Amino acid sequence: MKTKCIKCKKNIVFDNNKQILEKITCDFCESYFFILSCKSCKKKFILTKYPKQKIITCKKCKSKISIKKEEHPVFISYAHEDENWKDQILNHLKFYEDDGLTVWTDRTLIAGDEWSDEIETAINHSKIAILLISIHFFNSSFIKKRELPYIYERYKKGHLTIFPVIVKECPWKKHDFIPKFQVRPLDAIPLEKINKKNLSTELTKIADETKSLLEQQNFQSQSLEDISPNAPNIHLLCNRKEHTIKFSQSFYACMKQENKLPQFYFVHGNENEAHQCLMKRFKYSVIKPKVKTFFKHSKSPELIEIGDWPQKNSLKSQQQRLIFDLIKSVTGSESYIEIDDFEKLVKLPQVQAYKNNIFIISHYLKASEFHTNLIKWYINDFWKKGFTDFINQNSPDETPQFLIFFNVKYDVEKKSFFSSFSKHKAKAKKHLENFYDSLLNDNNNLPADNQNIFLLDELPPITKDDFNAWFIDYKNHLNEKLRLKIIKIFFKNHDTKPMIDVYPFLEKVCIKY
C-alpha cells in the first residue's frame, strides 16, 4: 500500500500486513508515524504518536479497536532490595513511551496471576533484558535458578539482547556469562558510586542506549534472515544465527554514525566450518536488504574474496604482497602495481562504481599465518589513516562504505593428533583474542559509539538440532518421518557435522524438495 509522509509529503510504500498498529519510517526524511488499521471496515488511519489509550474508536464504522501496547517491550530483572534503582531507570525510560517503548517489571503483575509463568511469558515477548546487577541480584534464588538462565537461553537463540547495568559493587566479573557483555555505566562504575550531579546524566545515557538497542532490534526484525523458503541461498542458513545477529547489531550501530569509517570483523573457526558461507549469508541476509535504507537504492553490494595471505617474510615485503593481492582481486589484473595506498585504491573505477554503496573485502588466512604486526599495520595505517587522510581532502561521498573481514581458520588434523590439535587451537584462539584486545586499546580514545572493530564468536559445527531447525524453518512441507530419515542418513553415527559438509547437502535438498 501507499501513503504520504506527514512531514515531507512524499509517497511511502509499506506492506499491508493487517497488523492493528505498525510503525512506518519515511525513507526520504526518516520521520516516523503509525498506521492504525480497523479490522471491521479495513479503514487505515495515520497517528503521529503511539496511542496512550488501550481502545480507540474507528472514525468510520465506530467499532472498537483494541491495541496491545507491546511495540518495544523491555524486561527489567532486579532484586527487590534494588527497587529504588529500578524506579529511577524506569522514569527515564518513560520518556520514550510515545515511541512505543514499554517496560515490563514484576510490578506489572496483578492479583491472581501465576507469577512464574507470567515472568516467563514477559521474557518471551521482550527484545531487551536490562539486568540490575548487585549482590542482591546474584543472591536471589529465583533470579539465579529461573529468571537468569531463561534470559540467557533466549539470548543464545537470538531472541533477546542482554543489557547489564551495575547498580552496586559486587563480584559480577566472576559470573559465568555476564562479563561477556558490555556493561553500563562505562568502566563498570556502579550507579551507587556516581554523585547526584552526574547520576541523572548516566541514567539518561542508559535510557538512550536502550532506545538505540531497540532500534537495532527493529532493524534485525525487518531484514535479518527474512528470507523466503524458495530463496536461492537458504542452504547457507543452518546455525550461525548468533553470529548473524551480532554482526547485524555491530553493522547497524556503525552505519548510524554516517561517517563511512571502515569496519573490521574477525571471524574464526575450524577450516572445515566454511567461513565463505557466512560471508555470503551476511551479504544477502543482512547487508543487501539495508542498502536501500542507507543509500536510497537497491543495487547489490560488492563482495571481494581474497584467499591468499602473505607468507612469512620481512614486514615490508608482506605489506607489499598484501596490497598487491588486494588490488589484483579488486581489478582482476596484475597491471596495477603502482597502487599502494588507500587513495589510489578508492579512485579505481571498480571501486568508484560502489562509492554510494557497500564494498566488502573478505580475507581468508590460516591461524599460523596470523601476523599481528602486518594486520595491525593493515588496519591502522592502510585503512584507518588512509581513510582519514582521504576525507580530509575529499568528500566522504567519494568512497564506498568498506567492510573488511578477517576469516581466521584453525587447521583440522587427524583424530590421532586431536590432543595436540586442541592445545594448538586453544593457543591460536587466545592469541587472536589478545590481539583483538590490543586493537581496542589502541582505539580507546574513541567514543564507544565509534567502535568499528569486532570479534565474532567461534564458528561451531552443525548439530542434529541445528539441522532439524533448518528443515522446520525452510522445508516445513516435508512430513516429520521424512525429515527425521534425512537427518539420520546424513549424520549416521556422528553428533555433529562441519559446515563444509552441511551446506552442499542442503543445497541438494533444496533442489530435490
Structure confidence by residue, pLDDT tens digits, 165-197: 999 999 999 998 898 888 899 888 999 999 988
420: Cβ contacts below 8 Å, ≥ 6 apart: 413
Q: Which of 455, 477, 498 is the last residue of a domain?
A: 455
Q: What is the pLDDT of residue 92?
A: 94
Examine residue 496 and state whether it is found in any structural domain, yes or no. Answer: yes
Distance (Å, whole) CA 126 – CA 103: 9
219: Cβ contacts below 8 Å, ≥ 6 apart: 248, 252, 290
Examine residue 226 and state whether it is found in any structural domain, yes or no. Answer: no
CATH number at residue 289: 3.40.50
Domain of residue 122, residue span: 72-218
C-alpha 247: how far from its chain's center?
4
Distance (Å, whole) CA 186 – CA 201: 12
Answer yes or no: pTM beyond 0.75: no
On the question of pLDDT at 414 being above 70, the answer is no
**44 and 101 housed in the same domain:** no
**95 and 149 housed in the same domain:** yes
**434 and 475 housed in the same domain:** no
Q: How many domains does the chain have?
A: 4
**248 and 173 housed in the same domain:** no
Share of the chain above pLDDT 70, in %: 78
Q: What is the pLDDT of residue 113?
A: 38
Phi-psi region of 18 (alpha: psi -120 to 50; beta: other; left: phi over 0): left
Distance (Å, whole) CA 190 – CA 483: 51
Specify the range with the lowest mean pLDDT, choosing from 100-109, 133-142, 177-186, 260-269: 100-109
Specify the range with the lowest mean pLDDT, choosing from 355-359, 372-376, 380-384, 414-418: 414-418
pLDDT band at 223 (very low <50, low <70, confident <90, very high): very low
Q: For the CA atoms of the chain, what is the radius of gyration?
A: 25
The predicted model gives 485-498 an average pLDDT of 92
The angle at the Cα of 35, spanning 76 to 296, to the nearest 5 degrees, equals 90
Indicate the residue type of 300: S
Sheet holding 32-37, edge to edge: 21-25, 32-37, 44-47
On the question of pLDDT at 401 being above 50, the answer is yes
pLDDT band at 363 (very low <50, low <70, confident <90, very high): very high
Per-residue pLDDT reduced to its tens digit, 287-321: 988 888 888 777 899 999 998 899 888 999 999 99
**29 and 85 housed in the same domain:** no
Q: What is the pLDDT of residue 475?
A: 85
Q: What is the pLDDT of residue 97?
A: 80
Distance (Å, whole) CA 147 – CA 123: 9
Examine residue 26 and state whether it is found in any structural domain, yes or no. Answer: yes
**400 and 319 housed in the same domain:** yes
On the question of pLDDT at 4 being above 80, the answer is no
Examine residue 230 and state whether it is found in any structural domain, yes or no. Answer: no
**275 and 173 housed in the same domain:** no
Burial, 274: exposed, middle or buried (Cβ in 10 Å; 0-12, 13-18, 19+)?
buried
Q: What is the pLDDT of residue 447?
A: 47
CATH number at residue 80: 3.40.50.10140
Examine residue 227 and state whether it is found in any structural domain, yes or no. Answer: no
The predicted model gives 233-240 an average pLDDT of 84
Reference 366, options 407, 306, 418, 427; nearest CA is 407
Per-residue pLDDT reduced to its tens digit, 11-53: 655 555 444 555 555 555 555 566 777 766 767 777 666 555 5
Q: What is the pLDDT of residue 129?
A: 93
**34 and 125 housed in the same domain:** no
Distance (Å, whole) CA 253 – CA 447: 13
The predicted model gives 434-459 an average pLDDT of 77
Give start and end residues of each alpha helix (H) in 66-195: 83-93, 115-124, 135-139, 141-142, 148-156
Please tell me whether residue 303 adopts helix, strand or coil conformation: strand
Examine residue 181 and state whether it is found in any structural domain, yes or no. Answer: yes
Q: What is the pLDDT of residue 109?
A: 45
The predicted model gives 82-108 an average pLDDT of 85
Q: What is the pLDDT of residue 50?
A: 54
On the question of pLDDT at 423 being above 70, the answer is yes
Examine residue 487 and state whether it is found in any structural domain, yes or no. Answer: yes
Q: What is the pLDDT of residue 308?
A: 84
C-alpha 36: how far from its chain's center?
30
Q: What is the pLDDT of residue 27?
A: 54
Beta strands (DSSP E) in 260-400 are: 263-270, 302-306, 358-366
Q: What is the pLDDT of residue 66?
A: 57
C-alpha grid cell for residue 334? 596484475
Q: What is the pLDDT of residue 448?
A: 46
Q: Which residue has the cell 553500563?
A: 184
**302 and 367 housed in the same domain:** yes
Phi and psi at residue 261, to the nearest 5°: -60, 130
Q: What is the pLDDT of residue 203?
A: 94
Q: Which of 17, 37, 66 is the last residue of a domain?
A: 66
Higher pLDDT, 278 or 418: 278
Q: Which residues pair with 370 in a beta bridge?
A: none
Distance (Å, whole) CA 4 – CA 11: 4
User: CA dist 294 to 78, 210, 282, Å?
Assistant: 37, 22, 16
**403 and 276 housed in the same domain:** yes
50: Cβ contacts below 8 Å, ≥ 6 apart: 21, 34, 69, 71, 97, 98, 99, 100
**205 and 246 housed in the same domain:** no
Q: What is the pLDDT of residue 322?
A: 94
Examine residue 486 and state whether it is found in any structural domain, yes or no. Answer: yes
**282 and 138 housed in the same domain:** no
Q: What is the pLDDT of residue 415?
A: 47
Q: Which of 172, 187, 218 is the last residue of a domain?
A: 218
For the chain, the average pLDDT equals 82
Per-residue pLDDT reduced to its tens digit, 247-264: 988 898 888 888 899 999
DSSP letter for 363, please: E
